[in-house]
Amino acid sequence: MFDTVILGRSCPGKEYDQYEPMLRMKVYEAQQICREKKFPLLIIVSGLESTGRGQVMNKITEWMDEKFLTNHVFWRETDEQRERPLEWRFWRCLPGKGETALFFDGWYGTLLHRYCTGEIGQSEYYSLVNEFKGLEDSLALSGMIIVKLWLHLDKKTYEKRLQQRIDTLNIHHLAPLRKKGAELYDTLVDAAAEAITLSDRTNAPWNIIDAKDENFRNLAVGKAIIDTVNRALGMEIAVQAGLDVLKNEENTPCIGPDKTTPAEESAQAKASAESEASPAPRKDESSEDATKSAAGSEAGAGNEACASGPTPGSHVDWLGQPVERKGFLAKIPLNTLEVIDLSKTIDRDVYKKELKALQRELQELTFDAYTKHISSTLLFEGMDAAGKGGTIRRLLGGVDTRIARVIPISSPTDEELAHHYLWRFWRHIPGAGFVTIYDRSWYGRVLVERVEKLTPRPDWSRAYAEINHFEQQLVRNNNILLKFWLHISPDEELRRFREREQTPWKRHKITAEDWRNRGKWDQYIVAADEMFLRTSTAYAPWRIISSEDKKYARIEVLKAWRDALKKAIGKKDDKKNGEEK
């Protein structure tokens, strides 16, 4: 690859002084456009030693508005970083909407020098490069503009500069990780060529820059930033135009034998609005109660419309359209959750005995896992009132609270909304030996955000692959990942809602939003079914557990974690014994 690159080019000082101010303004304007349009801008400055990567970062900082720019260097690995997946250190530093981040070497420098110094083999190197290519695709598709710069030198110039640094005692400027590979020019260049070939994509292109002449290098860097931003903005406009067309098509009503025309829908909507404007009170309620019911201010009256839940025999398809199931067809399951046996129970006395035994066992196993640096990540999903909170409390009864924490997931904050949706979950990944329990999780992207239309279809459709990639990183890093879906019937959910209303210390658990969600039960079931299909993998399978009887569900969850801990600890011990032999 680098054989075809023209090296040795230069720019005289007078020409540089003429062009640099104009280029500087263009780079500044590119940053400001990204800020105005709320696009995150990530610039990765990578390349060979002695190419002036640090000088380039300083120059970019000088050209841009540094109030909205941060610099990150990853050459010194901390204990905190070693205890987590490799991607964790990068995710925490990604820029938010309208922000700019400079990564010194980024993930490529780390991979290159690990490979060249023998820390990882060729197959693992290629695998990691492909994984980071997938990360870049995900970030770019979510709106991030990625500028990738590779600063290059010919072999003769590289060796001369390296020797100069050694002679002038500047070798300490080389990162410890790179000192072994500092003289491996051919190996570095070959490995870099492979990485660049594999990861050069339209949405995250590489810019190979001749770094022999400082003036030429700086101008080339500025031009690369400007060109990449302009290209990304042009692509964004085209994509957005396509999305607008798609959105218009989705909002166009279908006309068929059982569909209404736009005119008929308008008439029906008008009649419905007039009816709601002056509702007739029911025989069993006063006008005042009817008003409360319409406003939804009184749980018992205002939620009658949602209390019944889904209509028997009525379902929705993957587009959310109602499907009537009659006769023989009504007996055929349409989704995964329809075949779950909800009749499973456990005797109360047996439950108490098993719970105590499992909690004692978990306490020993989690401590053993902590000493062996085996982490656990547990997440809970399911319909409202499925018993997630109660199950988590029983889990914590068997864990030292100093090594475990619960992350309740609710609506994202402004800071979280400014980043990729997985960013807030990467922040809480447990360190080696620690336990993180998510009450709700990243699956909100393909559940509530899908059903409530909070996220465009292309974005939540893309999330399945992004989630699988994310979970693969967790599992590869000695992390036990357990995904639980606690399932109940609509009738049981209604009973628990009513119970919460009538119990003073449980009333805070029930809201108007919970009642409203009951009306979309079928849509959530369809979304969950596709979620199981596309994200239940060999390394992170879904565990669907009947929670009609809360006690039964709690025992099943504790057993699943116990078995997973035993298996992971056993593998760790076998590996250690094999190495000792």
Q: What is the pLDDT at residue 327?
A: 54
Q: What is the pLDDT at residue 312?
A: 46
Domain 2-244, second-level architecture: 3-Layer(aba) Sandwich (3.40)
Helix (H, G, I), strand (E, B) or coil at 307: helix
Q: What is the pLDDT at residue 16?
A: 94
Distance, in Å, from the CA atom of 63 to the CA atom of 56, rounded to the nearest integer, reads 11
Please report where in the chains the tokens 């080019």 appear, as a residue. 9
In the chain the first and final C-alpha atoms are separated, in Å, by: 44
Q: What is the pLDDT at residue 572?
A: 87
Closest CA to 98 of 41, 47, 151: 41
Please state, in angstroms and as integers, the Cα–Cα distance from residue 275 to each residue in 244, 340, 533, following that order: 34, 41, 42
Which residues, 6+ apart, have CB-to-CB distance to 554 below 8 Å? Answer: 351, 355, 387, 390, 391, 394
Q: What is the pLDDT at residue 335?
A: 80
Walking along the chain (581 residues) 10 residues at a time, the average pLDDT comes out as: 71 93 95 95 93 94 94 86 92 95 92 86 92 93 94 89 71 46 75 92 91 94 95 77 60 44 44 42 40 39 54 52 55 74 96 97 96 96 94 94 93 93 94 96 97 93 95 93 96 90 78 83 93 95 97 98 96 80 62
For 339-553+560-580, CATH number out of 3.10.450.100, 3.40.50.300, 2.170.190.11, 3.40.50.2300 equals 3.40.50.300
Q: What is the pLDDT at residue 164?
A: 79
DSSP for 315-365 reads: EE-TTS-EEE--GGGGGS--SGGGG--TT----HHHHHHHHHHHHHHHHHH
Q: What is the pLDDT at residue 576?
A: 78
Helix (H, G, I), strand (E, B) or coil at 486: strand
3-state helix, strand, coil in the chain (%, to 5): 60, 10, 30
Distance, in Å, from the CA atom of 290 to the CA atom of 288, rounded to the nearest integer, reads 5
Q: What is the pLDDT at residue 234?
A: 84
Cβ atoms of 193 and 4 closer than 8 Å: no
Domain with CATH 3.40.50.300 in the chain: 2-244, 339-553+560-580
Q: What is the pLDDT at residue 579?
A: 72
Tokens at 107, concatenated: 């993930």
